[in-house]
Protein backbone atom coordinates (compact mmCIF):
# COMPACT_ATOMS: atom_id res chain seq x y z
CA UNK A 1 0.00 0.00 0.00
CA UNK A 2 1.22 3.51 -0.78
CA UNK A 3 2.17 5.98 1.91
CA UNK A 4 -0.78 8.18 0.99
CA UNK A 5 -3.12 5.21 1.06
CA UNK A 6 -2.04 4.33 4.60
CA UNK A 7 -2.43 7.94 5.70
CA UNK A 8 -5.92 8.00 4.25
CA UNK A 9 -6.82 4.86 6.17
CA UNK A 10 -5.32 6.31 9.35
CA UNK A 11 -7.40 9.46 8.93
CA UNK A 12 -10.56 7.43 8.36
CA UNK A 13 -9.81 5.27 11.40
CA UNK A 14 -9.40 8.25 13.73
CA UNK A 15 -12.35 10.09 12.19
CA UNK A 16 -14.46 7.08 13.13
CA UNK A 17 -12.91 6.92 16.60
CA UNK A 18 -13.53 10.63 17.30
CA UNK A 19 -17.19 10.08 18.17
CA UNK A 20 -16.52 7.59 20.94
CA UNK A 21 -12.98 8.60 21.90
CA UNK A 22 -13.80 10.54 25.06
CA UNK A 23 -16.26 7.87 26.17
CA UNK A 24 -13.74 5.06 25.69
CA UNK A 25 -10.81 6.85 27.29
CA UNK A 26 -12.96 8.36 30.04
CA UNK A 27 -11.43 9.62 33.24
CA UNK A 28 -9.27 6.63 34.20
CA UNK A 29 -6.19 7.05 32.00
CA UNK A 30 -6.15 10.82 32.55
CA UNK A 31 -6.29 10.54 36.33
CA UNK A 32 -3.76 7.72 36.44
CA UNK A 33 -1.26 9.43 34.14
CA UNK A 34 -1.92 13.00 35.29
CA UNK A 35 1.21 13.44 37.45
CA UNK A 36 3.55 12.11 34.73
CA UNK A 37 1.90 14.09 31.97
CA UNK A 38 1.98 17.29 34.01
CA UNK A 39 5.66 16.68 34.69
CA UNK A 40 6.33 16.08 30.99
CA UNK A 41 4.52 19.21 29.83
CA UNK A 42 6.06 21.33 32.61
CA UNK A 43 9.18 21.54 30.40
CA UNK A 44 7.30 23.49 27.71
CA UNK A 45 9.12 26.56 26.45
CA UNK A 46 9.68 28.38 23.16
CA UNK A 47 7.79 27.53 20.00
CA UNK A 48 6.11 24.18 20.49
CA UNK A 49 4.60 21.58 18.20
CA UNK A 50 2.16 19.15 19.81
CA UNK A 51 1.58 16.13 17.63
CA UNK A 52 -1.77 14.33 17.54
CA UNK A 53 -4.10 16.59 19.47
CA UNK A 54 -6.92 14.05 19.45
CA UNK A 55 -9.96 15.41 21.26
CA UNK A 56 -7.69 17.69 23.27
CA UNK A 57 -7.68 15.67 26.51
CA UNK A 58 -4.04 16.61 27.17
CA UNK A 59 -4.65 20.36 26.91
CA UNK A 60 -5.69 20.44 30.60
CA UNK A 61 -2.12 19.43 31.51
CA UNK A 62 -0.37 22.17 29.47
CA UNK A 63 1.15 24.97 31.52
CA UNK A 64 -0.46 28.35 30.67
CA UNK A 65 0.99 31.08 28.45
CA UNK A 66 2.75 28.82 25.95
CA UNK A 67 3.01 29.20 22.16
CA UNK A 68 1.72 25.87 20.84
CA UNK A 69 0.73 24.54 17.44
CA UNK A 70 -1.21 21.29 17.75
CA UNK A 71 -1.83 19.08 14.73
CA UNK A 72 -3.94 16.00 14.10
CA UNK A 73 -4.57 13.94 10.98
CA UNK A 74 -8.30 13.69 11.71
CA UNK A 75 -10.58 16.69 11.08
CA UNK A 76 -13.22 15.07 13.29
CA UNK A 77 -10.77 14.96 16.19
CA UNK A 78 -9.87 18.62 15.67
CA UNK A 79 -13.56 19.47 15.71
CA UNK A 80 -14.07 17.51 18.93
CA UNK A 81 -11.10 19.31 20.51
CA UNK A 82 -12.36 22.81 19.70
CA UNK A 83 -13.81 23.57 23.13
CA UNK A 84 -10.71 22.41 25.04
CA UNK A 85 -8.44 24.32 22.66
CA UNK A 86 -10.54 27.45 23.16
CA UNK A 87 -10.33 27.13 26.94
CA UNK A 88 -6.51 27.05 26.99
CA UNK A 89 -4.98 30.17 28.55
CA UNK A 90 -2.22 30.78 26.04
CA UNK A 91 -1.62 30.66 22.30
CA UNK A 92 -2.82 27.26 21.09
CA UNK A 93 -3.68 26.73 17.44
CA UNK A 94 -5.15 23.45 16.17
CA UNK A 95 -4.46 22.43 12.57
CA UNK A 96 -5.48 19.41 10.54
CA UNK A 97 -2.20 18.04 9.22
CA UNK A 98 -0.48 14.73 8.61
CA UNK A 99 2.92 14.28 10.27
CA UNK A 100 4.22 12.78 7.02
CA UNK A 101 3.29 15.90 5.06
CA UNK A 102 3.72 18.86 7.40
CA UNK A 103 3.64 22.33 5.85
CA UNK A 104 6.05 23.83 8.37
CA UNK A 105 9.45 25.15 7.24
CA UNK A 106 12.63 23.42 8.36
CA UNK A 107 13.81 24.26 11.90
CA UNK A 108 10.58 25.94 13.00
CA UNK A 109 10.08 24.53 16.51
CA UNK A 110 12.09 24.56 19.75
CA UNK A 111 10.23 21.58 21.14
CA UNK A 112 7.96 18.81 19.94
CA UNK A 113 5.61 16.92 22.29
CA UNK A 114 3.73 13.72 21.59
CA UNK A 115 1.24 11.85 23.74
CA UNK A 116 0.30 8.28 22.78
CA UNK A 117 0.95 9.19 19.17
CA UNK A 118 3.58 6.94 17.65
CA UNK A 119 1.48 3.84 18.24
CA UNK A 120 -0.67 5.13 15.39
CA UNK A 121 1.61 6.88 12.89
CA UNK A 122 1.72 4.52 9.88
CA UNK A 123 5.47 4.92 9.23
CA UNK A 124 6.89 5.76 12.67
CA UNK A 125 10.53 6.30 11.67
CA UNK A 126 9.51 8.47 8.71
CA UNK A 127 7.18 10.41 11.01
CA UNK A 128 9.99 10.97 13.51
CA UNK A 129 12.29 12.10 10.71
CA UNK A 130 9.62 14.62 9.71
CA UNK A 131 9.65 15.93 13.30
CA UNK A 132 13.45 16.10 13.19
CA UNK A 133 13.18 18.28 10.07
CA UNK A 134 10.88 20.88 11.64
CA UNK A 135 12.89 21.11 14.88
CA UNK A 136 15.61 23.66 15.47
CA UNK A 137 19.13 22.32 16.15
CA UNK A 138 19.27 21.53 19.86
CA UNK A 139 15.48 21.19 19.86
CA UNK A 140 13.82 18.79 22.30
CA UNK A 141 11.51 15.89 21.57
CA UNK A 142 9.48 14.90 24.64
CA UNK A 143 7.15 11.95 24.34
CA UNK A 144 4.61 10.09 26.45
CA UNK A 145 4.13 6.80 24.65
CA UNK A 146 3.07 3.23 25.09
CA UNK A 147 5.37 0.73 23.41
CA UNK A 148 6.03 -2.96 23.14
CA UNK A 149 7.56 -4.82 26.08
CA UNK A 150 10.73 -6.84 26.29
CA UNK A 151 9.42 -8.99 29.15
CA UNK A 152 7.52 -12.29 29.17
CA UNK A 153 4.49 -12.58 29.05
CA UNK A 154 3.70 -8.97 28.17
CA UNK A 155 5.67 -9.09 24.92
CA UNK A 156 3.88 -12.25 23.74
CA UNK A 157 0.47 -10.83 24.67
CA UNK A 158 1.06 -7.65 22.71
CA UNK A 159 2.42 -9.57 19.72
CA UNK A 160 -0.73 -11.70 19.76
CA UNK A 161 -3.18 -8.80 19.97
CA UNK A 162 -1.36 -6.34 17.69
CA UNK A 163 -2.88 -7.52 14.37
CA UNK A 164 -6.34 -6.83 15.81
CA UNK A 165 -5.60 -3.66 17.79
CA UNK A 166 -3.80 -1.97 14.89
CA UNK A 167 -6.91 -2.34 12.71
CA UNK A 168 -9.24 -0.63 15.18
CA UNK A 169 -6.79 1.76 16.86
CA UNK A 170 -3.17 1.76 17.98
CA UNK A 171 -0.34 -0.70 17.42
CA UNK A 172 0.74 -2.07 20.79
CA UNK A 173 4.16 -3.57 20.16
CA UNK A 174 6.24 -0.82 18.60
CA UNK A 175 9.90 -0.27 19.58
CA UNK A 176 9.45 3.49 19.84
CA UNK A 177 12.71 4.25 21.68
CA UNK A 178 14.69 2.45 18.96
CA UNK A 179 12.65 4.28 16.32
CA UNK A 180 13.54 7.64 17.88
CA UNK A 181 17.23 6.73 17.65
CA UNK A 182 16.80 5.42 14.10
CA UNK A 183 15.30 8.77 13.08
CA UNK A 184 18.50 10.55 14.13
CA UNK A 185 17.67 11.83 17.62
CA UNK A 186 19.97 11.45 20.60
CA UNK A 187 17.93 9.81 23.36
CA UNK A 188 18.79 11.46 26.69
CA UNK A 189 16.32 9.83 29.06
CA UNK A 190 13.72 7.06 29.09
CA UNK A 191 11.53 6.74 32.19
CA UNK A 192 9.02 3.95 32.63
CA UNK A 193 5.57 4.94 33.83
CA UNK A 194 4.02 1.45 33.94
CA UNK A 195 6.01 -1.78 33.48
CA UNK A 196 8.16 -1.06 30.42
CA UNK A 197 5.13 -0.40 28.19
CA UNK A 198 4.20 3.17 29.15
CA UNK A 199 7.12 5.56 29.22
CA UNK A 200 8.35 9.10 28.78
CA UNK A 201 11.14 9.66 26.27
CA UNK A 202 13.38 12.71 26.15
CA UNK A 203 15.49 13.10 23.01
CA UNK A 204 17.40 15.92 21.37
CA UNK A 205 18.18 16.98 17.81
CA UNK A 206 21.93 17.43 18.04
The binding site for other proteins (CB under 8 A) comprises 23-29, 31-33, 146, 151, 153-154, 157, 160-161, 164, 192, 194-198
CB-wise, 9 or 164, nearer to other proteins?
164
Q: How far is the CB of 31 from other proteins (least distance, A)?
A: 7
CB-wise, 7 or 58, nearer to other proteins?
58
CB-wise, 31 or 64, nearer to other proteins?
31
18-48 in b/e burial notation, b at 16+ Cβ within 10 A? Answer: beebeeeeeeeeeeebeebbeebbeebeebb
CB-wise, 28 or 137, nearer to other proteins?
28
Secondary structure (DSSP) of 61-98: GSPSS-EEEEEES-HHHHHHHHHHHHH-SSEEEEEE--
Q: How far is the CB of 114 from other proteins (least distance, A)?
A: 16
Which of 99, 169, 113, 181 shows the shortest CA–CA distance to 145? 113
Q: How far is the CB of 7 from other proteins (least distance, A)?
A: 25
Which of 29, 31, 84 shows the shortest CA–CA distance to 54? 84
* Residues in contact with 16: Cβ distance below 8 Å, sequence separation at least 6, in sequence order: none
Q: How many CA atoms lie within 13 A of 149 on its CB side?
A: 19
The phi, psi pair for 3, rounded to 5°, reads -55, -45
Q: How far is the CB of 29 from other proteins (least distance, A)?
A: 4
CB-wise, 118 or 185, nearer to other proteins?
118
Q: How far is the CB of 60 from other proteins (least distance, A)?
A: 16
Amino acid sequence: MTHRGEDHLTRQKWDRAARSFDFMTGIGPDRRWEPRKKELFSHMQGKILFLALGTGLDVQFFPPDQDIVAIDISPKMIEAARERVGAYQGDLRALQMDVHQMDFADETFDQVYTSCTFCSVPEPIEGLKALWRVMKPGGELRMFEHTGSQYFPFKQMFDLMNPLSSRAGPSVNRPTVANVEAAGFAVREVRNVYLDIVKTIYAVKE
